Structure 1
Amino acid sequence: MNDNDRSIVGLVAVAHAMVHTYELSIPILVPIWLDTFTAIDLGLTQFPVNAATIGALVTVGYGLFGLGALPSGILVDRIDARILITGCLAGMSLSFLLLAVAPSPVLVGVALAIWGVAASVYHPSGLSLISRGVEQRGSAFAYHGMAGNIGIAVGPLVTILLLLVLDWRAVVAVLTVPAALAAVYAIRVDIDERAAVTATDGGSEDGRAGTGVSSFAEFRSASVTLFAGAFAAVFLVTLCSGLFYRGTLTFLPELLQNVPALAPVELAGRTYQPGDYLYVGLLMVGVGGQYTAGRLTDRGRPEIGIAAGFTALAVVAVLFLPAAALGLGALLVVSALLGFFLFLIQPFYQAAVAEYTPAGTRGLSYGFTYLGTFGIGALGAVVAGAMLTYFSPEQLFLVLGGVALCGAGLGAFLVTRAPSTGTGA
């Protein structure tokens, strides 16, 4: 990588780690909110606090995390990504400051909604920045994904460790600091955002002229053009990924607390939940999945990786609870496999978006991508909460396995349709 490549990768790595630090600290707080609050008071009516209602509350923030990606994708085709990333980091810090003082579940939901709006800016901005500014795109996607997974693992781990000595509100207040510092770094970094874009890559030399999204009519036209080709299948892949991701991770800490092999441990007057640490370890294994997939995208077709990765996830989903019942050894193995394959998918579909869309609408393309992954995909939290409230964990994992099979089928369709073209065909 050249100096500009390294500067861009450094910026997106820090920002990506921050986004997922906050995103995955939320599931650690969910069991605390279930114990702390008793009712969600909406004025005219009240709802009991349970897995279904907390799942719906969390989905507001997670949903906006994805829904906001579409307008953010439009913006990044017209505004420097570095400016948008800075705003994202500052907004996340402020949202967690509000969360720290929220006195009720409703205001917790408001704070999470603000976080979702701020965080939604990142993925279209960061991924467009890589695709237009970095020469070694596949490797950059790999490092970008690894940084995200470090945030995914470190965020929950730091939250767990801080909760040993601090009240949850104090912990959330402490978590506001990293994003604030990252925002200062982002606004100062010097990069060329379009160093890897040429006039033949779907737009002008600066990568903007081919955007064509300055009005609703042009937005509609650009969107129709995108979805008229194979990008439509890629979008459905991202939706499956999001549903599986959110449906699995939102309540996993709560589920692991009920596994006999992970019974609470008393040590030096404190109670430790081994399931929380297994959850962190599972997320950390995802770093290997991200790196493996990112390297493979430089050597082969991402469509093959999509099909293979989702097939593996379907198998793991079916085996997860039976393995947990066999004992700690089997649970550790199946958890490692879940973490690896859950995050293996992401670099493949990120690369597929870059292959099937022109540079001039790359921001819009990634906006739709994360609308599917984190917007519509946020419904996975609602599905998981409802399944755990009214059905059973076994049935939840069967549903998740079905979602993974749909993703595998879409990947197989892309493999048989035509080779990736790199021109948006």
Structure 2
Amino acid sequence: MVAHAMVHTYELSIPVLVPIWLSEFAVIDLGLVQFPVNEATLGALVAVGYGLFGLGALPSGVLVDRIDARVLITACLLGMGTSFLVLAVAPTPAFIGLALAIWGVAASVYHPSGLSLISRGVEQRGSAFAYHGMAGNVGIAVGPLLTILLLVTFDWRLVAGLLTIPAVVAAAFAVRVDIDERAAVAATDGGGDERAGSGVESLGEFVSTARTLFASAFAVVFAVTFFSGLYYRGALTFLPELLHNVPALTPVEIGSQTYEPGDYVYVGLLMVGVLGQYVAGKLTDRGRPEYGILAGFAALAVVALMFLPAAEFGLLALLPVAALLGFFLFFVQPFYQASVAEYTPAGARGLSYGFTYLGVFGVGALGAVVAGTMLTYFSANQLFVVLAGLAACASGLGAYLVTRAPSTAAAP
């Protein structure tokens, strides 16, 4: 839970810094070529770090089937702290991209490690996923809030440097933790399930296991995850910038300080996600997660179409719709996380979650590119129509899973 909070503290602090980078820099200089700084180019730069966050999940998923998850999580925390230290001294957008790339590689280790740990070590998975998700949402909300408050007084580079401290403290805590990583497997299978063994041992076994996974209903769950990732990243990357442009959220001057109400709406929206995670996690212990995928993404499609019209009506209309976006954006996560555990064997669980977060954060990183491109060359209204279409596709896949026989934790 501590590590999950840290991962999302950094992940969702980045969009708070995006408007500053848009105003502070004019050119992205890559040596041989230069690009103007706008939503499209900055979205692509940010997508590099976010993409590595997802792409690294696959090798991390292989590692967690072979290495103590505690070791991997500790390395993740130290790597994230290092990345924000680099960000603090970054003189150009290119160096910002390098810092975000370091963050992405380090953060990619976490989800396969943490989720595999829960799926193997905890019997009440749904509740554990809920509490784990809630901790992530605390990081998702508190991280940006802390960043916003620090930016009121300090330069963004100093703020990035200060943000390295929580990662170092969390790593020191993780080093001291002693846990039984296979308690639930041992309790369920008497320690004798061969599928809970050492995981993928070679490239050939990796290919064989991956082929078997994608020949099953796991392939459908994987497709759900990348639609989810595209929606998640597409909605959140430029959301602070969009909220700055809402007439009802004009800047407020208090003394010598300027406050952006849109930033606090963004944080509040993310905090509501804690409730969404909790409710969904509890529901996964009471029924089939496929129904949650169907209903949750259908709700996200509707909310996407309502968001900008609500912003035009004013604050009283915007706030409840923003709360619904935050609730359902995180409501869907425990359902697809639980579905992965249902459709995959214990011995390939790390690899399964590696593929899952390859979809959510690797393919999903393209959501930042999509959002930046839509905002630069089209309009915010068209962006939210695209987001609604992504959610509708995921809901349709959930409907397909509902028509199948009830999910089971069966081997392929």
Task: Show structure 2 runs of 5+ residues with no match.
Answer: none
What's 2:406 paired with?
A: 419
- Aligned partner of 1:304 in structure 2 is 291
Structure 2 counterparts to residues 344-355 of structure 1, below 5 A: 344-355=331-342
Residue 413 of structure 1 aligns to which amino acid in structure 2?
Y
Residues 92-141 of structure 1: per-residue CA shift (max 9 Å, x gap): 00110011001110010001000000000000000000000112211110
Shift of 1:238: 0.4
Partner of 1:173: 161
Paired residue for 2:18, among 15, 30, 39?
30
Equivalent of residue 176 in structure 2, options 183, 188, 199: 188
Match of 2:59 among 66, 71, 81: 71
Kindly provide the CA deviation profile for residues 2-42 of structure 1, in whole angstroms up to 9, marking residues without a partner as x.
xxxxxxxxxxx100000000000000000000111110111
- Aligned mates of 1:159, 1:228 — CA distance in 2: 44
The secondary structure found in structure 1 opposite 2:59 is helix
Query: Residue type of the partner of 1:125?
Result: S
1:268 aligns with 2:255: yes
Structure 1 segments unaligned to the other structure (5+ residues): 1-12
Letter in 2 for 1:394: N
Residue 122 of structure 2 corresponds to residue 134 of structure 1: yes
Q: CA deviation at 1:209?
A: 2.1
The TM-score normalised by the length of structure 1 is 0.95
* Structure 1 residue ranges, 4+ long, deviating more than 6 angstroms after superposition: none
Cα deviation digits, residues 387-419 of structure 1 (max 9, x gap) = 000000000000000000000000000000120
Q: Residue 55 of structure 1 aligns with which residue?
A: 43
> 1:65-114 CA deviation, whole Å, 9 max, x = no partner?
00000000000000010100000000000110011001110010001000
One-letter code of the match for 1:181? Answer: V
The 3 A distance-change label for structure 1 pair 151 and 66 is same
The residue aligned with 2:93 is 105
- Do the aligned partners of 1:197 and 1:207 also contact (CA within 8 Å) in 2? no
Aligned-residue offset at 1:210: 6.0
- Aligned partner of 1:10 in structure 2 is none
Task: Provide the aligned C-alpha RMSD in A.
Answer: 1.3
Q: 1:305: how far off?
A: 0.2
Q: Could you give the per-residue CA deviations for residues 238-265 of structure 1, whole angstroms, max 9, x where no partner exists? A: 0011000000000000000000010111
Aligned amino acid, residue 312 of structure 1: A
User: Do the aligned residues in 2 keep the contact of 1:203 with 1:209 (CA within 8 Å)?
Assistant: no
* Equivalent position of 1:6 in the other structure: none
Measure, in 2, the Cα distance between the counterparts of 1:345 and 1:391.
28
Identical amino acids, percent of aligned pairs: 75
Where does residue 215 of structure 1 map in the other structure?
202
Query: What number of residue pairs does the alignment pair up?
Result: 412
Answering whether residue 314 of structure 2 is matched by residue 330 of structure 1, we say no
Give the superposition deviation at 1:215.
1.5
> What does 1:83-102 correspond to in 2, within 5 Å?
83-102=71-90
Match of 2:346 in 1: 359
**1:197–1:206: 8 Å Cα contact kept in structure 2?**
no
Contact kept, 8 Å, 2:54 with 2:360, in 1: the verdict is yes
Q: Structure 2 matches for 1:329-408, cutoff 5 A?
A: 329-408=316-395
Classify 1:397/1:325 alpha carbon distance in 2 versus 1 (closer, same or farther; 3 Å): same
| Residues 185 and 196 in structure 2, CA contact (< 8 A), matched pair in contact too | no
Structure 1 residues 210 and 356, CA gap change in structure 2 (3 angstroms): farther
**Cα shift at 1:178:** 0.3
Deviation at 1:44, TM superposition (A): 1.1
Asked whether the 8 Å contact 1:51–1:385 carries over to 2, the reply is yes
- Distance, in Å, in 2 between the alignment partners of 1:31 and 1:300 is 42
Q: TM-score normalised to the size of structure 2?
A: 0.98
Query: Distance in 2 between the 1:43 and 1:100 partners?
Result: 22
**2:110 matched residue in structure 1:** 122
Q: Using the alignment, how far apart are the partners of 1:122 and 1:406 within structure 2?
A: 27
Report the CA distance shift for 1:201/1:405 in structure 2 as closer, same or farther (over 3 A): farther
C-alpha change, 1:210 and 1:89, in structure 2 (3 Å) is: closer
| Aligned-residue offset at 1:318 | 0.4
Read off the aligned partner of 2:178 and give its amino acid letter. Answer: D
What residue identity is the alignment partner of 1:268? G
- How many angstroms apart in 2 are the aligned matches of 1:200 and 1:320? 45
Contact 2:58 2:351 in 1 (8 A): yes
Return the letter of the residue paired with 1:243. L
